[in-house]
């Protein structure tokens, strides 16, 4: 590891701060305690605390005075607004999501890979009266959680999967008690099926299926998934939904370039 005053110290500090921001973003609805952030980032508590103090001073993080939990700060929102005009992936994929929602009556999600995480960047709701709104736009989760995350992870080579799952191991338990062995079994089943299937995990009573969207260089960087109450997701209907998703994915893979952004 570089000396704290060496040439790599500044880069390491930026990487650590970015990692802390991603961790907070993954649980921004409830916030995180210092002990949680230190554990998930694998930083010593004093180091994590110093980073958080700096991020608070810059407006990137805020801390609730009563609970002492940390949340994303106002500056993150402001920076997102400034960047939004340069990102077009959501616009390119939106018509496909709407078509799928209209055809199926269910909720359709668009997920993008972000390092070892996934972020839901859009969703379209169908007409079926019982909704499965398991993901809000902006929700960040460990790669492999949910059908979109499984679709992206199942498409990666084994060494990459091992690295990602190992890095996320401490975070998985927050998703209905998910563990590394269970996740690896889910991935094996997804590969055998040829599509991502998330049933009885993360959200009890809901089932979702999904497929990855590959860039022109072959990298899986987006995923489309459809979620519904489990009683609607028979094996036959899963196959029907996957066929509909696959048709849209084929179109999108020819339209979304490697440089497309959320």
Same domain, 63 and 100: no
CATH number at residue 50: 1.10.10.10
pLDDT for residue 259 = 45
User: What is the spatial distance between Cα 198 and Cα 208, in angstroms, rounded to a whole number?
Assistant: 5
For the chain, the average pLDDT equals 87
Same domain, 67 and 168: no
Same domain, 77 and 94: no
CATH number at residue 211: 3.30.450.40
In a domain, 2, yes or no: no
pLDDT tens digits for 65-108?
899 999 988 888 777 766 655 567 888 899 999 999 999 999 99
Q: Count of domains in the chain?
A: 2
Spell out the long-range contacts of 130-137 with Cβ–Cβ below 8 A and sequence spacing 24 or more.
130/229, 131/107, 132/106, 132/107, 132/203, 132/206, 132/208, 132/227, 132/228, 132/229, 133/107, 134/107, 134/202, 134/203, 134/206, 134/208, 134/227, 135/109, 135/111, 135/227
Same domain, 56 and 137: no
pLDDT for residue 3 = 44
Same domain, 178 and 67: no
Share of the chain above pLDDT 70, in %: 88
Same domain, 180 and 234: yes
Domain extent at residue 73: 9-81
Q: 0.75 cut: is pTM over it? A: no
Same domain, 93 and 208: yes
CB 225 within 8 A of CB 196: yes
pLDDT for residue 261 = 47
Confidence of residue 202 (pLDDT cuts 50, 70, 90): low
Of the three residues 42, 66, 81, the one that is the final residue of a domain is: 81
Average pLDDT rounded to a whole number, residues 101-128: 92
- Higher-scoring residue by pLDDT: 229, 6: 229
Same domain, 178 and 140: yes
Q: Helix, strand or coil for residue 115?
A: coil
Same domain, 156 and 239: yes
């Amino acid at each position: 590891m570089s000396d704290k005053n060496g040439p790599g110290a500044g880069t390491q500090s930026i990487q650590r701060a970015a990692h802390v921001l991603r961790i907070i973003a993954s649980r921004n609805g409830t916030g995180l305690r210092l002990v949680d952030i230190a554990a998930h980032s694998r930083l010593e508590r004093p180091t994590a605390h110093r980073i958080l103090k700096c991020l608070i001073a810059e407006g990137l993080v805020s801390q609730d005075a009563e609970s002492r939990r940390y949340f994303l700060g106002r500056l993150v929102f402001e920076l997102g607004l400034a960047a939004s005009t340069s990102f077009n992936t959501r616009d390119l994929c939106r018509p496909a999501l709407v078509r799928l929602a209209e055809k199926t009556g269910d909720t359709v999600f668009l997920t993008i890979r972000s390092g070892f995480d996934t972020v839901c960047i859009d969703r379209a709701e169908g007409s079926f009266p019982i909704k499965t709104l398991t993901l809000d736009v902006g929700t960040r989760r460990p790669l492999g959680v949910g059908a979109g995350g499984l679709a992206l992870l199942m498409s990666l080579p084994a060494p990459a999967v091992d690295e990602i799952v190992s890095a996320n191991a401490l975070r998985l338990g927050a998703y209905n008690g998910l563990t590394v062995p269970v996740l690896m079994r889910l991935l094996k089943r997804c590969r055998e099926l040829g599509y991502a299937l998330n049933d009885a995990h993360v959200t009890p009573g809901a089932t979702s299926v999904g497929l990855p969207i590959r860039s022109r260089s072959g990298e899986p960087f987006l995923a489309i998934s459809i979620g519904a109450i489990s009683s609607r997701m028979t094996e036959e209907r899963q196959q029907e939904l996957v066929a509909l998703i696959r048709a849209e994915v084929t179109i999108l893979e020819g339209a979304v370039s490697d440089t497309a952004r959320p």
